[in-house]
Structure 1
Amino acid sequence: MTIRRTYHAALALVAIATSTGLVACDRIKNPLLEVSTPDIVTPDKASSAAGAQSFFIAAQGDFARLVGGDRGGSSPLGLNLTGGLLADELISTRTGTEHIDNRSIVPATFPADSWRQVGAAHTRITRAIKALETYPPATGGNDQLALLHAYEGMTLVLVAEHYCNGVPLWNGESDLNPATKTFSTAELYNAAIAEFNKALSLTQVTNTVNFATIGKARATLDAATPATLAASAASAAALVAAIPTDYKFNVVFGSSTAGVGNAIYDWANSTKNFGAVDKEGGNGLDYISSGDPRIKVDPTKVSAGQDGTRTPALNQYPKLDAPVTVASGIEARMIQAESELANGNPNWINTLNSARATIGLGPLVPAATAAGQVDQLFRERGFWMYLTAHRLGDMRRLVRQYGRGIETVYPTGSYFKGGTYGTDAVLPPHQDEFNNPNWSGCTDKAP
């Protein structure tokens, strides 16, 4: 969907999809998550405090859908699914979806339309910020604005981690004639950090502060070059040092099959369009054979997907309303461990092991080589943050920051449905975007 279509859809329809004025967590639910028909916000109602609150709620729902949702079992799907398919977390068990799984992406073909949800989330969050600034509530306005700025920061991080260099997003300037600006990956990370800083300047609500702080640390680490990695990792680690290990910031979904639900449950559990995978393409992690309790896969229950491909039961999200963790204290510990490793501090393994001990996992022993130690770190990240829209960004960092060859990180070689894996390492915007006169394609598709 081009930015003009996304913008006018956002102006006309507000999809009520989340639970809360100030936080998005799995402890709080809202009946509005369950409805199938979005509320209509007429132009006269939009220009009011009530209209601003509707935009605020809608923006939260669109962010949740961007991370890991769908509406009524239909596309576009969240980036934890589409990104996991391009990475090594999921495989195609539905004819026609192989193009992302085998790294030969066709931008006009499902599920490449996840890009449409990028536009929806960014546009609605931006509009909600404008609306709240113009029509603030009687109390709590800055706290709501802080949450929106944190959502926007994380939206930009997710776009930078998943998509090519040089993507178009609404510039936020004109309501009557919306246009896009093309952002480089570096510009997205810088803009994300600015959004997180705005969030942190507006609120003292602990949940939002922790979310924005982890987001800022994630963007800081993502933006590093090989030359600046050690220093950037140290800066990121300092940001998150005080965040409790048991902290979680979740996006939530509803239990109605007509509402906004968890896309991986819908598409890989309730119906098997995608499935769990082990050591995909030779380079993938051993998600299934490891028997690790962080990976909720049951290898004793194997069944056929839509195309007949047999995969084990994937129970990571066992219900339609299962929440998805966007940021956590565990992620904070992983950032600290990476900083320690990058700066030659042997405590990195203790940091990993302290996190493992929280769920009763035994300690790791440091690998004998530097490369092996990096493998250990990123395997821990992959297992802790399985199917949470982190893995593709991690794989790109292994190539970009750690100097790994693409074909030593991504699935490669013979594809299990025939043929071979292609060379794509990032997602492109959907084919619709080529109707945008202000964008002519990705600047490059390097990791």
Structure 2
Amino acid sequence: MKIINKIMKIHCRSLYTLLVILFFGLTSCDSIVEVTDPDIVTPESLDSEAGIATLRAGSLGDFAIAMSGSSAGHGGTTGLIVMSGLMTDEYYYSGTFPTRREADTRLVQNTNGDVDVIYGNLHRARASAEATISMISELGGDPNLESEMQSIVGFSYTLFAETFCSGVPFSRAPTDGGELEFGVPLTTQEMFETAISRFDNAIATGNERYSNLGKVGKARALLGLGNLTEAANELSSVSTDFVYNIEHSINSRRQENGIYTMTTVRRQFSIADEKGGNGLLFRSEMDPRTPWDGGDDLGQDDVTIYYNQLKYPSPGEPVVLASGIEARLIEAEALVAENAKEAVEEIHNNLRARIGLTPVDLSEMSETQLREFHFKERAFWLFSTGHRLGDMRRLVRIYNREVSEVFPSGAYFKGGEYGPNMTFPIPQSEANNPNYQGCLDRNP
């Protein structure tokens, strides 16, 4: 009983200190693990499988809000998926919030409130998962749960690397209740490398399901570094049927899928079509992987014609974090680099057959055309899951594509021009960290 009480005190004190100093504050430590009523969840109840499940649920809940957002808050909470989708060709902004328009125009300032919330929520998810790992160890260990939490930490680092500029610090509050350890800025490469080390821990400790989660995450981080062959080699044992979801629920507004809220309910994020003159035809292709309806009503701004995504048709709809389909797509990208047309064609046609799409003939394509086709297929398979910004940046960083060929460019449909940003900035709120340097660069 003493150790449980000690762990709970450490967890609350350390996480509270970290998040209040670095981000925008929490009203109570209870919210971190969703323990809001001492008559329902007590320290005694944590000394059990049910208690461990509660801690796991809190960590995964934090990550779900960071990624998808939620219905909680005034008008809902924006997640990384829709905000990063605005910077790419996935969504138009059909609302009135200037912070979201900044993402849509690729002119994002370090005072952007939505980016600040996403940044804080993603750090909160990472810190919560790290604290859960420490508690698992104190309570005697649970290899599968530890593997899952290691992957959540790994995905947090990966998403920071894919979405934010170089220079993100990762601070920690020691579980022994010591002084806050302010993080130093990490480059994009260092964030990917740290993610890989976390995924290695996940692969080493988990059963097949959680090991697969770690393998897909590690391959995604390796892809970010341009290590294509190594990424593909991680995935041979991952079944195409494998899926790990970010879960949502109608049990509370906090648990609801914020993508559904911001699109179908709030009509602020409209599925795009040839955005910025070079975006993909997410509507016109009439592809079952990007279902939509609308075109008859206006968005929340009463100006933009609204097209609603139907990939997430309800507030309880899950979001895929990692899958066997993504594993096959990563393998295909490594084969594209070898100009292995037949093998690339086989992978894509096998995937397309799963949902009744007609097969494609890639035999006459050049290597450049093959890569363009592959990235288009990735965009449709992984639409609105938080992958597209990382993919577009990789096209510029690894494959030397021109920014104007990849990102929305030229005249903005509501007036003005698209800006140069390819990343979100490190928010000004991080200036509480004495090591804060802002963005080391805004390169892809």
Q: Please give the range of the TM-score, normalised by the shorter of the 2 chains.
A: 0.7 to 0.9
TM-superposition CA deviations, 1:295-331 (whole Å, max 9, x none): 01125x5321111111222211111110000111111
The alignment status of 1:371 with 2:375, answered yes or no, reads no
Q: TM-score by structure 1 length?
A: 0.87
Q: Residue 123 of structure 2 aligns to which amino acid in structure 1?
A: G
Query: Taking structure 1 as reference, are residues 86 and 331 closer, same or farther at Cα in structure 2, changes over 3 Å only?
Result: same
Call closer, same or farther: CA 1:315–1:360 in 2, change over 3 Å. same
- Describe how 1:222-371 pairs up with structure 2 within 5 A: 222-224=224-226, 232-256=227-251, 258-299=253-294, 301-308=295-302, 309-346=304-341, 347-366=343-362, 368-371=365-368
Shift of 1:71: 4.9
Read off the aligned partner of 1:386 and give its amino acid letter.
F
Q: Secondary structure at the match of 2:114?
A: coil
| Alpha-carbon separation, structure 2, partners of 1:380 and 1:72 | 34
Tell whether the 8 Å contact from 2:267 to 2:308 is kept in structure 1 after alignment: no
Mapped pair 1:121 → 2:125: yes
Gapped runs of 5+ residues in structure 2?
1-15
Q: Which amino acid aligns with 2:431?
A: F
Cα displacement (A) at 1:241 = 1.9
Letter in 1 for 2:85: G
- Structure 1 pair 41–286 and aligned structure 2 pair: CA distance change class (3 A): farther
CA–CA separation in structure 2 for the residues paired with 1:218 and 1:80: 16
Q: Distance in 1 between matches of 2:280 and 2:27?
A: 39
Inter-partner Cα distance in structure 1 for 2:78 and 2:94: 16
Deviates more, 1:118-127 or 1:406-415: 118-127
Tell me how far 1:114 sits from its aligned partner.
1.1
1:208 equivalent among 207, 210, 218: 210
1:381: which partner in 2? 378
The alignment of Structure 1 onto Structure 2 pairs a total of residues equal to 416
Query: C-alpha displacement at 1:258, in angstroms?
Result: 2.6
Distance in 2 (alpha carbons) for counterparts of 1:364 and 1:249: 28
Counterpart secondary structure, 1:285: coil
Q: What TM-score results when the alignment is normalised by the length of structure 2?
A: 0.87
Amino acid across the alignment from 2:349:
N
Say whether the 8 Å CA contact 1:93–1:306 is kept in structure 2.
yes
Pairing partner for 1:12 from 21, 25, 29: 29
CA distance in 2, matches of 1:444, 1:211: 31
CA contact (8 A) 1:91 1:274 kept: yes
Q: Secondary structure at the match of 2:170?
A: strand
Q: 1:177 aligns with which of 165, 176, 179?
A: 179
Give the whole-Å Cα distance in 1 for the aligned partners of 2:382 and 2:407.
Answer: 17
Q: Which has the higher helix share?
A: 2
Cα contact 1:14–1:55 (8 A) shared by 2: no
* Match runs of 1:394-409 below 5 Å: 394-409=391-406
Q: Is the 8 A contact 2:204 2:211 kept in 1?
A: no
- Aligned-residue Cα RMSD (Å) equals 2.6
Identity of aligned pairs, percent? 31
Q: CA contact under 8 A between 1:251 and 1:323: conserved in structure 2? A: yes
Letter in structure 2 aligned against 1:98:
R
On the 8 A contact 1:2/1:435 being kept in 2, the answer is no
8 Å contact from structure 1 (residues 14, 54) kept in 2? no
Q: Which runs of 5+ in 1 are unaligned?
A: 18-36, 225-231
Shift in Å, 1:372: 1.4
Distance in 1 of aligned mates of 2:83 and 2:272: 14
Give the secondary-structure state (helix, strand or coil) at the position aligned to 2:376. Answer: helix
Distance (whole Å) between structure 2 residues aligned to residue 76 and residue 180 of structure 1: 26
